[in-house]
């Protein structure tokens, strides 16, 4: 989530490489797309340059690269003298210069602030009111300039009026994390891209630029005005928690510890970012569905294209994260449950990617409905085990995966596909999926110039919905709709809408809304879409229902099918039947809204896997 | 004094281990459950664990899963199970009965309604498989207030710190799950079981029962040597599944008698 939200969309964080001492390094930096270079005019610095060197460096630069001169408590005459000989674009003051000291050269300037404890960044910004930007640097007593230590990011206020440049301790490994956490105007690196003091390294500069251009992978901070949920035992109010057999308590505790650790581990986050970018293909596009919007005659509809991810759905965001975690925890075998097969395919895919043994549990009924995905999983080297117990669908697959995990806890990591299950799964899966909402936030600002009015997502277990909603929970003027599967109609009882019709109970490790009989037996569900065919829902959704932040509605099989055809014909995008539920609800409300309203729908998956279902319903044999 | 305490005190005085058979209530038909319970007692059962069928028994292996499905096909509800205990108590006021099942049926009935009903029909203990002590505070307090023992599991994966914590929360007896797996799994490792029981013993005076994976006279006898109670479930339930209904009232007690003799022959 953007920390420096000046109501100015920042589509790209700019990069400055400071302490350049050789013309060649400046040229390499420029070729890599660096926005600015810094020249140090402070004789005590190991990166100090002479006037002559500075001239050579600037001469070597192509146009449109800003040159910044760095000074520390320099005499005005010294600075005037440099300015007379070196064509600097902007001055950067690193010492105890007063606002007047900075102003007197008739040049735009940046003021650096060393981040001591309890430093008042807000007051500082007011004092240097005409500075072009503030550079926030790590602070070490007695050392001036870049000190190579990362400061405590929590100190930075979120409503600062000035552009912020983050400096100090940045490296190719942590830059994407800094950008993710703070969304600064620019980052400033020096020591992090050097092979020796003042000597920049081309490979490191390349890696840094790559890191800086990646989008966010994971939420490191909670949304500030909501309570920080879940609590340490995994509760969202009365929901969530840890309702599992004793054998799983220790493995879950171990997982919880590992997750908390790696959530703050920059190497892990960098690896995750890298895979999301290069393997998954993130960021996924945000697409303005102009024809469909026009057809419905109301609000402007944007689609978050999770269907364009590798494997065709949002599920891979989570499986990449969990598989990387499994790898770090030394687990060699992964298991998963699957309904529609999307999560199974996403798990089989990462298992192949990371060289792990993979077993996927799938209800025998779903195996028949989703033959293509079953074959995909087998091609990927996974073993698909048919589950014949109970209703032979997703919930029974989950039971069977739990049984497998209880039996093989030592070497096995259970990759749960949704924001349900015992703590920490609802939290962890949410964090891995929240990349959807974070990207959307940035993309819609660039595309439409502002945040949306309405978000819509389908809810089965609820991972794509929470992924989109979570970064927007704090924006209470944005209306959020979670769309459940009404199947043949809520009144028929043949549906999968626990939030709309169920009541709280305990299943699969957490307390949440469930569809169960008056005796507490879990009901069989029905939906045209196998991915929504689940009698429970993630506990955070139960919480968001009770506190009213999200409105949960339901659409029938027929309505979803209509929307499937609409989008296919009007936009050339074939949506998954799951996502078609969100589209169907949009179809109901968009025409009632003004044309300047903005709706974002999470198009959580593509519909190729569903064409047999659709064809069969229309009596067509393929 | 509670039936569970009396039972275990007597056994301890006799230096015998308890035999605790498990059957699923309503399997294969509801009318057989109470007669089967009496048959178990006559054959030497000291405590009866009565399984409450649930649609999603995630800690159970295929044998008990199918038993649950058979019982549910008969429409067996938690209320029916309580009624069965009530009927059992018409003839037997001494043998402790422990309900074993999953939380959701209790949650949907309401903790208070359930606990009051359980007390009034003569239930002695409640083991809720998917309710670890961390989440059990409310239910445990109610159970204790109504003189019913909340019974907890300890697993091979349970850390020493948790063992200590669980021992403080538990009453009646402790149920040590002998292996990493579901009910009815194979391969019981008696040496590691003995080691773990010794470890648990350092934290509690409660009897320690061992279950999961005990399927014949030999394994029952081995476990009886190292623990206070031998819990046999899937092996019995498998008989219920495979034998003809009219033979069950003979076959089941016969199997339990054999286990009892094997354990006592030590």
Q: What is the pLDDT of residues B104-151, one digit of tens each?
A: 999 999 999 999 999 999 999 999 999 999 999 999 999 999 999 999
3-state secondary structure of A387: strand
**Neighbour tally for A158: CB within 10 Å:** 13
Which residues have C-beta within 8 Å of that of residue B84, sequence separation ≥ 6? B25, B26, B30, B33, B34, B37, B50
The CA–CA distances, whole Å, from A532 to A368, A522, A554, B88, B121 equal 16, 16, 11, 44, 41
Determine which one of B46, B60, B124, B228 is catalytic.
B60
CB-based contact A506 B58, cutoff 8 Å: no
Would an 8 Å CB–CB cutoff place B30 in contact with chain A? no
CB atoms within 10 A of CB A11: 9
Q: Which of A55, A47, A51 shows the shortest CA–CA distance to A23?
A: A55
pLDDT band at A181 (very low <50, low <70, confident <90, very high): low
The 8-class DSSP code of residue A213 comes to H
Strands A194-196 and A186-189, by their bridges, are unpaired
In this predicted structure, the answer to whether residue A326 has a pLDDT above a threshold of 70 is yes
Q: What residues in A contact B66, CB-CB < 8 Å?
A: 389
What pLDDT does residue B113 have?
98
pLDDT > 90 fraction of chain A, expressed in percent and rounded: 74
Any chain B CB within 8 A of the CB of A389?
Answer: yes
Query: Distance (Å, rounded) from C-alpha A364 to C-alpha A367?
Result: 5
- CB–CB contact B132 A506 (8 Å): no
B contact test, residue of A236, A247, A511, A516 with most B CBs within 10 A: A247
Reported confidence tier of residue A445, pLDDT bands at 50, 70, 90: confident
Check the CA dihedral A492-A494-A499-A502 and report its sign: positive
Residue A260, burial from CB neighbour count under 10 angstroms (0-12, 13-18, 19+):
middle
> Is B54 in Cβ contact with A395 (below 8 Å)?
no
Report the percentage of chain A scoring pLDDT > 70. 92
Sequence-distant (≥ 6) Cβ neighbours of residue A127 within 8 angstroms? A99
Residue A2 has pLDDT above 50, yes or no: no
- pLDDT of res. A536: 97
Q: Is the pLDDT of residue A148 over 50?
A: no
In tens, the pLDDT along B199-242 reads 999 999 999 999 988 989 999 999 999 999 999 999 999 999 99
- Which residues of chain A have a CB within 8 Å of the CB of B102? 506
> Mean of the per-residue pLDDT values for chain A?
90
Tell whether B153 is within 8 A of chain A (Cβ): yes
Residue A580 CA to its chain's centroid (Å): 23
| Closest chain A C-alpha to B60 CA, distance in angstroms | 7
A503 touches chain B (CB under 8 A): yes
The average pLDDT across A558-570 equals: 98
Residue B130 contacts A, CB cutoff 8 Å: yes
Give CA–CA dist A453/A475, Å, rounded: 10
Q: What's the average model confidence in pLDDT over A265-280?
A: 86
Contact B56 A505 (CB under 8 A): no
Residue predicted with more confidence, A220 or A592: A592
CATH of B3-264, one of 3.40.718.10, 3.30.460.10, 3.30.1360.10, 3.20.20.70: 3.20.20.70
CA dist., res. A131 & res. B36, Å (int): 87
CA distance B96 to B199: 26
Q: Scanning every residue of chain A, which has its alpha carbon at the shortest distance from the alpha carbon of B64?
A: A389
**Cβ pair B72:A521 closer than 8 A:** yes
A3 catalytically annotated:
no
Closest residue in chain A to residue B65, using alpha carbons only: A389
- CA A92 to CA A354: how far, in whole Å? 46
Beta carbons of A318 and A433 less than 8 angstroms apart: yes
pLDDT at position A143: 43
Which one is catalytic: A337, A484, A540, A578? A337
DSSP label at residue A184: -
Tell me the pLDDT band of A184, cut-offs 50, 70 and 90. Answer: confident
Predicted confidence (pLDDT) per residue in A202-213, tens digit: 999 998 988 787
Query: What is the per-residue pLDDT across A406-437, written as a single tens digit (0 to 9) for each?
Result: 999 999 999 999 999 999 999 999 999 999 99
Query: Which tokens sit at A122?
Result: 């807000």
Quote the pLDDT of residue A151: 52
Q: How close A536 gets to chain B, by Cα (Å)? A: 12
SS3 category, A4: coil
Give me the pLDDT at residue B101, please.
Answer: 98
Contact with chain B for residue A337, Cβ under 8 A: no
The answer, for A233 touching chain B at a CB cutoff of 8 Å, is yes
B159/A407 Cβ within 8 A: no
- Which residues contact residue A318 at a Cβ distance below 8 angstroms, ignoring those fewer than 6 apart? A346, A415, A417, A429, A432, A433, A463
Q: Give the active site residue among B27, B49, B124, B228.
A: B49
- pTM of this structure: 0.81
| pLDDT digit string, tens, across residues A102-137 | 999 999 999 999 877 678 888 899 999 999 999 988
Distance from CA of A566 to the nearest CA of B (A): 38
The A residues from 341 to 370 touching B (CB cutoff 8 Å) are none
CA gap B150, B144 in Å, rounded: 7
Please name the residue of chain B whose CA is at the shortest distance from the CA of residue A502.
B108
Residue contacts between A and B (CB atoms, under 8 Å): 129
pLDDT at A137: 83
Minimal CA separation from B264 to chain A, in Å: 30
- List all residues of chain A from 238 to 267 with a beta carbon under 8 Å from chain B: 241-251, 253
Residue A146 CB burial class (10 angstroms; 0-12, 13-18, ≥19)? buried
Q: Is B211 helix (H, G, I), strand (E, B) or coil?
A: strand
Has A491 been annotated as catalytic? no
Evaluate if residue B96 carries a pLDDT over 80. Answer: yes
CB of B177 within 8 Å of a chain A CB? The answer is yes
Mean pLDDT of all residues in A388-392: 88
% chain B with pLDDT above 90: 93
- The Cα of A427 is separated from the nearest Cα of chain B by a number of Å equal to 18
Q: Which residues in chain B have Cβ-Cβ distances shorter than 8 Å to A518?
A: 108
| Integer Cα distance of A254 and B120 in angstroms | 41
Structure tokens that stand for B110 in this block? 């309401």
Q: Is the pLDDT of residue A64 over 80?
A: yes
Contact between chains at B58 and A395 (C-beta distance less than 8 A): no
pLDDT on residue A220? 39
List of chain A residues whose C-beta atoms are within 8 Å of the C-beta of residue B131: 243
Task: State in Å, rounded, how far the first CA of chain A is from the last one.
Answer: 45
Are A403 and B104 a contacting pair at CB < 8 A? no
Of residues A37 and A146, more confidently modeled: A37
Listed by start position, the domains of chain B span: 3-264
Q: Is B202 on the interface with A (CB under 8 A)?
A: no
Q: Label residue A162 by pLDDT band (50, 70, 90).
A: confident
Please provide the average confidence, as pLDDT, over all residues in chain B: 95
How high is the pLDDT of residue A159? Answer: 65
Q: How far is Cα A451 from Cα A467, in angstroms, rounded to an integer?
A: 16
A405: nearest CA partner in chain B: B181
- Token reading at A222: 């909670």
Residue (of A351, A401, A409, A397) closest to A376 by Cα position: A351
H or E element that contains B7: helix B3-13
Lookup: tokens for A35 = 């926005």
E strands, B73-193, in order: 97-101, 125-128, 149-151, 153-154, 174-177
Question: CB neighbours of A126 closer than 8 A, spacing ≥ 6?
Answer: none
Query: Cα angle vertex A36, ends A35, A41, to 5°?
Result: 175
Yes or no: say if A413 and A420 are a contact pair by the CB < 8 Å rule.
no
Strands A383-387 and A239-243: unpaired
């Amino acid at each position: 989530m953007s920390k420096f939200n000046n109501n100015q969309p920042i589509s790209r964080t700019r990069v400055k490489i400071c302490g350049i001492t050789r013309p060649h390094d400046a040229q390499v930096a420029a070729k890599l797309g660096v926005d600015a270079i810094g020249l140090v005019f402070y004789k005590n610095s190991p990166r100090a340059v002479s006037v002559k060197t500075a001239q050579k460096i600037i001469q070597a630069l192509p146009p449109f690269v800003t040159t910044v001169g760095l000074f520390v408590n320099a005499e005005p005459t010294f600075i005037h003298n440099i300015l007379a000989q070196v064509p600097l674009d902007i001055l950067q003051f690193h010492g105890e210069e007063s606002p007047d000291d900075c102003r007197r050269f008739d040049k735009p300037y940046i003021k650096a602030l060393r981040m001591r404890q309890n430093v008042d960044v807000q007051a500082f910004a007011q004092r240097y009111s005409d500075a072009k930007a503030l550079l926030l640097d790590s602070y070490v007593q007695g050392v001036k300039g870049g000190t190579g230590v990362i400061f405590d990011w929590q100190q930075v206020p979120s409503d600062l009026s000035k552009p912020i440049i983050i400096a100090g301790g940045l490296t190719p490994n942590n830059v994407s994390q800094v950008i993710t956490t703070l969304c600064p105007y620019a980052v400033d690196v020096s020591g992090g891209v050097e092979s020796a003091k003042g000597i920049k390294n081309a490979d490191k500069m390349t890696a840094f630029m790559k890191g800086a251009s990646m989008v966010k992978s994971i939420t490191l901070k909670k949304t500030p005005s909501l309570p920080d949920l879940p609590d340490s035992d995994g509760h969202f109010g009365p929901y969530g928690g840890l309702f599992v057999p004793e054998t799983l308590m220790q493995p879950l505790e171990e997982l919880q510890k590992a997750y908390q650790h790696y959530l703050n581990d920059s190497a892990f986050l960098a690896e995750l970012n890298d895979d999301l970018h290069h393997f998954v293909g993130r960021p996924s596009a945000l697409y303005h569905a102009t024809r469909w919007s026009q057809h419905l005659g109301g609000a402007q509809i944007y689609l978050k294209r999770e269907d364009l991810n590798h494997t065709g759905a949002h599920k891979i965001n989570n499986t990449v994260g969990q598989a990387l975690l499994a790898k770090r925890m030394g687990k060699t075998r992964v298991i998963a449950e699957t309904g529609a097969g999307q999560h199974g395919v996403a798990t089989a895919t990462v298992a192949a990617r990371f060289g792990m043994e993979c077993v996927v549990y799938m209800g025998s009924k779903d195996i028949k409905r989703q033959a293509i995905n079953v074959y995909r999983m087998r091609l990927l080297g996974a073993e698909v085990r048919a589950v014949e117990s109970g209703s032979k669908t997703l919930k029974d697959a989950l039971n069977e995966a739990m049984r497998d995990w209880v039996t093989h806890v030592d070497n096995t990591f259970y990759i749960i596909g949704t924001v349900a299950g015992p703590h920490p799964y609802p939290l962890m899966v949410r964090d891995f999926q929240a990349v959807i909402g974070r990207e959307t936030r940035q993309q819609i600002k660039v595309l439409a110039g502002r945040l949306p009015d309405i978000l819509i997502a389908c809810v089965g277990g609820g991972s794509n919905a929470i992924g989109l909603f979570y970064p927007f929970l704090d924006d209470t003027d944005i209306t959020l709709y979670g769309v459940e599967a009404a199947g043949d109609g809520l009144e028929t009882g043949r549906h999968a809408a626990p939030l709309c019709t169920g009541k709280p109970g305990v299943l699969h490790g957490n307390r949440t809304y469930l569809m169960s009989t008056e005796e507490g037996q879990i009901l069989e569900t029905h939906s045209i879409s196998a991915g929504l065919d689940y009698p429970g829902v993630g506990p955070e959704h139960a919480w968001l229902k009770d506190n009213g932040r999200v409105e949960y509605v339901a659409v029938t099989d027929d309505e979803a099918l209509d929307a499937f055809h609409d989008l296919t014909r009007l936009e050339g995008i074939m949506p998954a039947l799951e996502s078609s539920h969100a589209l169907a609800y949009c179809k109901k409300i968009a025409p009632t809204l003004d044309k300047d309203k903005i709706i974002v729908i999470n198009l959580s998956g593509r519909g190729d896997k569903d064409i047999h279902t659709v064809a069969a319903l229309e009596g067509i044999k393929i | 004094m509670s039936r569970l305490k009396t039972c275990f005190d007597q056994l301890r005085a006799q230096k015998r281990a308890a035999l605790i058979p498990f059957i699923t209530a309503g399997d294969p038909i509801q009318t057989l459950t109470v007669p089967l319970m009496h048959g178990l007692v006559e054959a030497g059962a000291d405590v009866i664990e009565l399984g409450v069928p649930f649609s999603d028994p995630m800690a159970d292996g295929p044998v008990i899963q199918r038993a649950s499905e058979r019982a549910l096909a008969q429409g067996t509800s938690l209320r029916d199970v309580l009624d069965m205990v009530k009927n059992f108590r018409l003839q037997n006021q001494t043998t402790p009965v422990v309900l074993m099942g999953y939380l959701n049926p209790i949650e949907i009935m309401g903790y208070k309604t359930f606990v009051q009903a359980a007390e009034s029909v003569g239930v002695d203990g409640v083991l809720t498989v998917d309710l670890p002590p961390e989440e059990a505070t409310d239910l445990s307090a109610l159970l204790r207030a109504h003189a019913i023992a909340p019974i907890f599991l300890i697993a091979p994966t349970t850390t020493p710190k948790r063992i200590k914590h669980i021992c403080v929360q538990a009453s009646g007896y402790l149920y040590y799950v002998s292996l990493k797996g579901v009910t009815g799994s194979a391969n019981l490792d008696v040496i590691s079981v003995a080691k773990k029981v010794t470890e648990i013993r350092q934290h509690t005076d409660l009897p320690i029962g061992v279950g999961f994976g005990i399927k014949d006279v030999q394994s029952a006898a081995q476990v009886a040597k190292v623990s206070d109670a031998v819990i046999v479930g899937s092996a019995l339930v498998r008989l219920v599944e495979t034998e003809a209904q009219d033979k069950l009232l003979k076959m089941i007690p016969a199997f339990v008698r054999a286990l009892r003799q094997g354990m006592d022959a030590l």
